[in-house]
Amino acid sequence: MDTDSAEQPIAVARANLSELINNVRLLRRSYFLTSRDKRQAAVVPVELGELILQVGGADAAARILTAHLETG
């Protein structure tokens, strides 16, 4: 597993799940899980996942962050 790459094929992530989770938990890394080079899901630190839920889910979080980037 190339831990420097933010994109990880799902099969590679599955085979190295403990390492991937440790990198997310301890090193605060985020990874995109890919299939056929397309992003399918993300693995993020739990605090980020909890914030996403607090604002109403992934779509609401994306709207908030997009608006922030456009005004900032």
What pLDDT shows up at residue 27?
A: 97
Q: What is the DSSP string of 44-71?
A: --HHHHHHHHHTTSHHHHHHHHHHHHHH
Secondary structure (3-state) at 6: coil
Direct distance between the N- and C-terminal alpha carbons of the chain, in angstroms, rounded to an integer = 36
pLDDT in tens, 19-65: 999 999 999 999 999 999 999 999 999 999 999 999 999 999 999 99
Domain hosting 53: range is: 7-71
Span 1-15, average pLDDT: 94
User: For the chain, what is the domain count?
Assistant: 1
Q: Compute CA distances 11 → 2, 14, 15, whole Å.
A: 13, 5, 6
| 30 domain-assigned | yes
CA–chain centroid gap for 27, Å, is 13
What pLDDT shows up at residue 3?
A: 82
| 61 domain-assigned | yes
| 46 domain-assigned | yes
